[in-house]
Chain A
Amino acid sequence: MPHFHATVRVGLRPSVLDPAGEAVCAAAQRLGHGAIQSIRIGKAIEIQLDAPDAATARQQLESLSAQLLANPVMETWSLELHNREA
């Protein structure tokens, strides 16, 4: 079965305060990076999976993202299906 590699990026919704991101932004400005306007911290989840085709892999990953990897109450997610190896 073909092998896939995917990255799911999860971040806080824009309306949700990210105090950790604000703290990092303040540190960046303290270090002289005055051009930095805003920092938001999320996570990237790397996933390896086997699936018969890319469409099936995408479907499974979308279901996983909505069900477990992100909480729609305060987070959004996006999926990148990177490459397919024989």
Chain B
Amino acid sequence: MHVGVAVFPGANCDRDVGWALAGCLGWRVTFLWHRDATLPRKLDALILPGGFSYGDYLRCGAIASSAPLLGAVADFAATGGPVLGICNGFQVLTEAGLLPGGLIRNRGLHFVCRDQGLQVESCCSPWLRHFAPGDALTLPIAHGEGCYHIDPPGLRQLEDHDQVALRYLDNPNGSVGHIAGVSNKAGNVLGLMPHPERACDQATGGTDGQALFRGLARWMGFS
């Protein structure tokens, strides 16, 4: 697997994602600078990491969503390429219109940093092919603005199209429908508030995140 990892000023999980994929899974990782408008050829997947891109000025992910790299990400997604946005990366994908809804301040106002129980709702995304609906997993969360918001008609549409990927078992932030992750209609673009890259090594508290990445690799024909 050859994966591109976006690098935005202020993002702080790009190296973690690189370490998890290269160090734990042996994947080839290429870092992609936010000002680049084109991608290297033959990337198998793209990841937008967590952090505080452009200081999260204006809104989380708002400025990153207009970075030159996002045009290339949108093109990659439009051709069915697997794209994963983690935490701030999820916020960037909603701001860019590649995923529905948006993320606002946690209901309790606290920055929440803990291991989070989750339930897989839909496996239509290739990122979740390792799992079956109803499976439980634990991934770390760390965010102040992870409250997923979408209006009632939008929520119905999400449910109707099987786009709710993960739900919180114990809603930490007030997200509508306990939603922790959503995909686009095609399923190839997935956004998650939890951090799978922080759960790729037993030494850092779990390997449920590895299952997510391995599931994608298997689905794409890599062992």
Which residues in A have some Cβ–Cβ distance to B below 8 Å? 12, 15-20, 23, 68-69, 71, 73-75
Contacts and interface: CB of A to CB of B under 8 A. Distances in A.
B150 A71 contact: no
Contacts of A75: 59
A74 B62 CA distance: 13
A74 B107 CA distance: 14
23 contacts: A12-B104, A15-B151, A16-B104, A16-B149, A17-B104, A17-B107, A17-B147, A17-B174, A19-B107, A19-B108, A19-B109, A20-B105, A20-B109, A23-B109, A68-B58, A68-B62, A68-B66, A71-B59, A71-B102, A73-B101, A73-B102, A73-B151, A74-B104
Interface in B100-156: 100-102, 104-109, 147, 149-151
> Does more than half of chain B's interface fall in helix, strand or loop, or is it mixed?
loop
Interface in B155-196: 174
Given A19-B105, A19-B107, 16 more contacts: A15-B151, A16-B104, A17-B104, A19-B108, A23-B109, A68-B62, A68-B66, A71-B62, A71-B102, A73-B101, A73-B102, A73-B149, A73-B151, A74-B102, A74-B104, A74-B149
B101 A69 contact: no
B94 interface: yes
B158 to A, nearest CB: 13
B95 interface: yes
Contacts of B58: 68-69
A71 B145 CA distance: 15
Contact of B106 (A15, A19, A68, A69): A19
Contacts of B106: 19
A44 to B, nearest CB: 13
A20 B150 CA distance: 19
Contacts of A68: 58, 62, 66
Contacts of A15: 151
Contacts of A71: 59, 62, 95, 102
Interface in B78-103: 94-95, 100-102
A64 to B, nearest CB: 11
Nearest to B94: A73
A9 B195 CA distance: 34
A47 to B, nearest CB: 13
Contacts of A23: 109
Nearest to A13: B151
Contacts of B105: 18-20
